[in-house]
Structure 1
Amino acid sequence: MNQCLAKKVSLQILLVDSYDIALNATAQLVKTQYPDGNIISTRTANDAINKIVNWQPDLIIMDIYLPEKLGEIAQTKTGLDFLQQVMQKYPKLNIFVQSPYVKRLVQIKPAIVKHQGGFVIADKNVTSQEMLSIIDGALKGFTRIKGITDIYIYPDIYEKLNLKPEILKLLSLAFNEGLQDKAIAAHICVSERTVRKHWETLQAALGIDCHELRNQGINIRVFTKIRARAAGLID
């Protein structure tokens, strides 16, 4: 009876990372702590979704710098989209994000706060002992997002972005695609005046004094990009 029970509760861990060397190192470390656990790995977001559906892991250990499919370029946006999809469909799944890009998680902090399962984060430079401790916390359902709070530089902006999520789209169009306000307005189906108001909301939340910058001859859009990147809103 006990042997059957042990088989039922065998730990299932899914590793998701775009680099084989990271997958192999993590798998070896996890095996030292959970020798009877079942560990599988994947390098893409799409395959990870399929493995979650078919395998129902107890824990995901993942980077957010991922390609959607093999052969595609890895992006933090892909990882964030994947993470949001997973949290929405599997609200009690335990998640450990280990990435050099953890500050990007501020973009989805409301979803993380609502997540019912364990959710922990760490940079990839943590020691093996620290990592094992963090994994143990995730499996116990702990939430450890101190790293997000630490880089939560401009707290007001996230409250405002919760009300105006299109500002994230504006940032992407402006700084990732290089569009000007007229083209941005067309993309998000608003007037140029509304786009300017979004810029004002964003700059106020980031603590940017446009009048002062003009007096100093500083490019406001470039300065906004710098502040937005520091806040984790763009790559």
Structure 2
Amino acid sequence: MRILIADDHAIVRSGLTMLINAQADMEVVATAADGNEAIQKALEWKPDIVLMDLSMPPGENGLTATTRLKEMAPEIHVLILTMHDDEEYLFRVLHAGASGYILKSAPDMDLISAIHTVHQGAAYLYPSATKLLIQEFFNRSRSAEDADGLHILTEREQEILALIAKGYSNKEIAEKLVVSVKTVETHKTKIMEKLHLRTRPELVRYAMKKGLLDFE
């Protein structure tokens, strides 16, 4: 896995680089000190994942940089690093198109696990963030954008949407449904077109609001 680290603190970049390069299947290919530099180096080095600090003064912050990067290189996954265990930041991160969100205070191996999860195409949310997300959408009234309902999706599309929302990768969904990965990707594209969604986190949020996930 080729990884780019974006953080305004040199000591954090150094520490994360040592941790990641110690993993047999990971390599830090570049680092950046602000959002603008992160975008430039991501376009240059084409990493699989960008570890993006949320707050990087005085340069462009991580949210803005993530939005811009996903517009220019949607294939690059972004994992947000932040000190803020806050609902406001969680939803802003998801809206920006990030694939994951993890606290800087998390144990080292949680970060490694998050990188693996995001690289596999699944969304990663730190447990406290997941709790906030679930609570928010169970308490929020249905908005006008949900008016069309699930009837616009076929049964297979609803099934795939639910599996995507539960964190399964395209390959895992294909194996579970005994179809090709290409077929899953085609269904996913049609689902996003029908629901007017652009990112995997948006699919997850829609599925949660529609009750497609079973929470114990």
Give TM-score, length-normalised by structure 1: 0.51
Larger radius of gyration: 1
Q: Does 1:44 align with 2:34?
A: yes
Aligned to 1:143: 123
Aligned to 1:3: none
Q: Does 1:29 align with 2:19?
A: yes
1: distance between equivalents of 2:32 and 2:5?
Answer: 6
2: distance between equivalents of 1:134 and 1:100?
Answer: 16
Cα root mean square deviation, aligned: 3.0
Aligned to 2:113: 133
Aligned to 1:95: 78
Classify 1:158/1:60 alpha carbon distance in 2 versus 1 (closer, same or farther; 3 Å).
farther
Classify 1:62/1:102 alpha carbon distance in 2 versus 1 (closer, same or farther; 3 Å).
farther
2: distance between equivalents of 1:158 and 1:19?
Answer: 41
**TM-aligned CA deviation for residue 68 of structure 1:** 5.2
1: distance between equivalents of 2:94 and 2:140?
Answer: 12
Encode CA deviations 1:77-105: one digit per residue, 9 max, x unaligned: x2211111112222221221121125313
**TM-aligned CA deviation for residue 15 of structure 1:** 0.2
CA contact (8 A) 1:46 1:68 kept: no
**TM-aligned CA deviation for residue 158 of structure 1:** 9.8
Classify 1:109/1:37 alpha carbon distance in 2 versus 1 (closer, same or farther; 3 Å).
closer
2: distance between equivalents of 1:159 and 1:102?
Answer: 25
**TM-aligned CA deviation for residue 50 of structure 1:** 0.8
2: distance between equivalents of 1:130 and 1:42?
Answer: 22
The one of 36, 39, 45 aligned to 1:55: 45
2: distance between equivalents of 1:134 and 1:102?
Answer: 16
CA contact (8 A) 2:4 2:50 kept: yes
**TM-aligned CA deviation for residue 123 of structure 1:** 0.6
Encode CA deviations 1:28-59: one digit per residue, 9 max, x unaligned: 00011047724311111111111012111111
CA contact (8 A) 1:14 1:41 kept: yes
CA contact (8 A) 1:102 1:121 kept: no
Classify 1:89/1:148 alpha carbon distance in 2 versus 1 (closer, same or farther; 3 Å).
farther
Q: Which sections of structure 2, spanning at least 5 residues, go unmatched?
A: 146-216
Paired residue type of 1:95: V
Q: Does 1:20 align with 2:1?
A: no
2: distance between equivalents of 1:30 and 1:135?
Answer: 10
Q: Does 1:65 align with 2:48?
A: no
Q: Secondary structure at the match of 2:65?
A: helix
CA contact (8 A) 2:82 2:103 kept: yes
Q: Secondary structure at the match of 2:22?
A: helix
2: distance between equivalents of 1:87 and 1:42?
Answer: 17
Aligned to 2:159: none
Paired residue type of 2:84: Y
Aligned to 1:105: 90
